[in-house]
């Protein structure tokens, strides 16, 4: 019985060590930008942090228009007057900067509305994944300002099948700080995988160097 228990314990330790090695490998690939776990997540949109707004539909246009469009419905009893300071904040390495809202839309109770965000100059491949936080500043028609939040993960449509290559990144990626070609998209240096020269890594100014 003692020998069986010892064998069982050794087996558990062996399996545990194997699982730990796999987890460490996944963590390393994610850290160095080789594996993007975010691309495995489903598309989603919610405005749980705004009270009455419900997300009905959404899309991200990756052509030269560079727009994120969200269709919502006001399920509350008060009208939303959304301020021009509202924005989409990307949490994705292929996008830099924030995407301000276009105009100052108002959405009456029970009515649908459109939130359009301009991601100026961002062009990416069709089928790529972007995710981030929607920050809304709004009033209910009075003097008091409110802030609400939403989450968006969406697969892009449109776009181009070619943006850059590593061999030609100096000519293709000329808009600082997006000077590095990664997965055929011009990005700033946020992960060691973005640096193509051996021995270089990301510096504090988001450039590659030693």
**127-148: average pLDDT:** 86
Given a contact cutoff of 8 angstroms between Cβ atoms, the answer to whether 53 and 95 are in contact is: no
Q: What is the mean pLDDT of residues 61-87?
A: 87
Q: Name 187's Cβ contacts closer than 8 Å, sequence gap at least 6.
A: 93, 94, 96, 178, 180, 181, 194
**Beta carbons within 8 Å of 55's beta carbon, 6+ residues apart:** 45, 46, 47, 70, 71, 72, 150, 152
By three-state DSSP, how is residue 48 classified? helix
Is the pLDDT confidence value at 161 over 50?
Answer: no
- Residue 107's pLDDT band, with cuts at 50, 70 and 90, is very high
Say if residue 118 is preceded by a cis peptide, omega within 30 of 0.
no
Q: Parallel, antiparallel, or unpaired: how do β-strands 146-157 and 53-61 relate?
A: parallel
Burial annotation 169-194 (CB, 10 A radius, 16+ → b, else e): beebbeeebbbbbbbbbbbbbbbebb
Residue 150 has pLDDT above 70, yes or no: yes
Q: What per-residue confidence (pLDDT) applies to 183?
A: 65
State the Cα–Cα distance between residues 138 and 145, nearest whole angstrom.
6
The dihedral through the CA atoms of 89, 112, 69, 115 has a sign that is: negative
pLDDT value for 33? 53
Nearest CA to 185 out of 123, 96, 120, 118 is that of 123
Position 190 confidence tier, pLDDT thresholds 50, 70, 90: confident
d(CA 30, CA 188): 17
pLDDT digits (tens, 9 = 90+) for 2-29: 566 666 777 777 878 888 888 887 777 6
Label residue 159 by pLDDT band (50, 70, 90). low
User: Is residue 154 pLDDT above 50, yes or no?
Assistant: yes
């Amino acid at each position: 019985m003692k020998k069986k228990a010892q064998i069982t314990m050794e087996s558990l330790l062996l399996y545990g060590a194997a699982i730990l090695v796999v987890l460490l490998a996944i963590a390393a690939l994610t850290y160095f930008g080789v594996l993007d776990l975010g691309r495995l997540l489903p598309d989603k949109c919610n405005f749980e942090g705004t009270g009455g707004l419900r997300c009905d539909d959404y899309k991200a246009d990756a052509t030269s228009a560079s727009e994120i469009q969200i269709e919502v419905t006001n399920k509350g009893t008060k009208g939303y007057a959304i301020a021009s300071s509202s924005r989409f904040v990307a949490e994705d390495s292929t996008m830099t900067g924030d995407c301000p809202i276009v105009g100052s839309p108002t959405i009456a109770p029970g009515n649908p509305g459109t939130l359009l965000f301009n991601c100026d100059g961002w062009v990416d491949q069709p089928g790529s994944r972007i995710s981030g936080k929607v920050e809304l500043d709004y009033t209910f028609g009075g003097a008091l300002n409110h802030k609400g939040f939403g989450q968006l993960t969406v697969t892009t449509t449109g776009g181009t099948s070619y943006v850059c290559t590593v061999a030609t990144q100096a000519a293709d990626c000329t808009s600082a700080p997006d000077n590095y070609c990664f997965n055929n998209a011009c990005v700033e240096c946020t992960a060691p995988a973005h640096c193509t020269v051996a021995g270089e890594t990301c510096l504090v100014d988001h450039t590659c160097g030693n």
